[in-house]
Amino acid sequence: MAKSTCSLEYHTESFDTLAETATGVKNGWFNNTGIFTATTPVTQTVFEGHIATYVLKYNAYKRGGDDQKGPFLLAKGDVLGDMDLFNGAVDTRANGNEDIIILGGFIPTKVTRSASSVPGVPVVTIGRGEASRMLVAECKVVPGAEFYGTLLTTKELTDTAIVEGQLVIAPTEAAYIIRIDINKQRKKQFNALTKGTEYFAYFFAGNTAGVSQLSNVQGTICG
């Protein structure tokens, strides 16, 4: 059976969320020095610089249109290149261990776990955060869970589900899933959203033995 590896889905990620995902990879590596070695494929300073430049060039592209597209694409290429290097380094360290892949800020390509090893996620809440364009979603503790995943969407899902321990996203619903957050925290914060848009949160939980089904959905309008 093929080993799980770091997904490359960040290559098709929304321009609005790529910097956030890259920051998650940066934090995953540099905040877990007990797991990942001191020999880093890209220094923290260089990676942070590329992320900051990406944000600046993207904002300039949104304001200036096609005249700013070239510098933006170059900055995007730098961030994706860094992430590809970390992708390979995390894969080498994880050797198929999905928990290490998640810790490194990536999403495993597959989850080889039983869907019945952890119970469903009870009581999901979602509401406005302290800042504008911020939402905070949270769920109750799931007995035995070692990580919690959240799908933030702009539409209620009908066909996306956890199937045999793997998140299977329906092609017709992929465009509505704007964030996927997987870590040890039950409380998830989502920034830089769109005012007046209704967002929905689904949770799932898992451990080394399995992954739960998706929770019931909760929604709210971003302010």
56-69 pLDDT per residue, tens: 999 999 898 888 99
Last residue of a domain, one of 103, 136, 170: 103
Residues 95 and 137 in one domain: no
* Token digits of residue 18: 């790529």
The reply to whether 111 falls in a domain is no
Residues 146 and 204 in one domain: yes
The reply to whether 130 falls in a domain is yes
Which among 93, 88, 85, 84 is positioned nearest to 9, based on CA atoms? 84
* Token digits of residue 35: 């797991």
170-179 pLDDT per residue, tens: 999 999 999 9
The reply to whether 108 falls in a domain is no
Write down the pLDDT at residue 204.
92
The reply to whether 115 falls in a domain is no
Write down the pLDDT at residue 114.
42
pLDDT averaged per 10 residues, the chain (length 223) = 79 85 91 85 96 95 90 95 95 88 83 54 86 91 86 94 85 92 90 94 87 90 90
* Token digits of residue 2: 């093929």
Q: What is the DSSP letter of 174?
A: G
Write down the pLDDT at residue 193.
94
* Token digits of residue 119: 């119970």
Write down the pLDDT at residue 115.
41
Which residues touch 212 (CB under 8 Å, ≥6 apart)? 115, 118, 119, 120, 121, 142, 145, 162, 204, 205, 206
Q: Output the domain CATH number for residue 212.
A: 2.60.40.10
Residues 31 and 84 in one domain: yes
Find the DSSP H helices in the chain: 15-30, 44-64, 69-94, 98-103
Write down the pLDDT at residue 110.
62
Write down the pLDDT at residue 130.
84
Structural domain of residue 143, as residue ranges? 124-221
| Total domain count, the chain | 2
In angstroms, the Cα distances linking 121 to 87, 137, 162 are 30, 13, 13
Q: What is the DSSP letter of 113?
A: S
Residues 33 and 84 in one domain: yes
Q: Three-state secondary structure along 7-48?
A: CCHHHHCCHHHHHHHHHHHHHHHHCCCCCCCCCCCCCHHHHH
